[in-house]
Structure 1
Amino acid sequence: MTLSNLLFRLLLVTAMTFSVVACGDNNAEDAGEKIDEVVTDAGNKVEDLCEDVKDKADAEDKDC
């Protein structure tokens, strides 16, 4: 998975989350929690992708 593909998916998920929130009961706390989950998941995926790239490149520093 390329970085641009991952960013596109992140943008798509974020847009869908906002769409679901807009159609909901306007509960700000629930909306905030959903957004936090999406951002956390996206951050984890980016970190996993970074670690995979460094692993395949046999980099000495595997932290991202």
Structure 2
Amino acid sequence: MKKLSLLLLAAVFSLSIYSCRETTEEKTEDAIEDAADDMDDMEHDVEAAADNVGNEVKEEIDGTDGVNGDDDL
């Protein structure tokens, strides 16, 4: 009876650990969400850099960059 109880306890413990672990599907979904967040951040950074470069070029063309002969880029 003692062996049967220990066997049953071990089986229940194994199943509870197995059912609580994160599945591959959940890990993949988390990785995709993280990658999407990173892409949004990069898109924002690229847009800000493009705006900055555009403003610098406009200042150079207009001659309003405040520095004569030096390149602000």
TM-score (norm. length: structure 2): 0.45
Q: After the TM superposition, which residues 19-38 of structure 1 pair with which residues of structure 2 at under 5 Å, given as runs?
A: 27-38=32-43
Aligned twin of 2:19: none
Q: Deviations over 1:3-58 (max 9, x none)?
A: xxxxxxxxxxxxxxxxxxxxx88722111100011111111000000000000011
Q: Where in structure 2 are there 5+ consecutive unaligned residues?
A: 1-28
- Residue of 55, 58, 61 corresponding to 2:66: 61
State the one-letter code of the partner of 2:46: D
Higher relative contact order (CA 8 A, sep 6+): 1
RMSD across aligned positions (CA): 2.6
* TM-score under structure 1 length normalisation: 0.51
5+ residue gaps, structure 1: 1-23
Provide the identity percentage.
Answer: 12
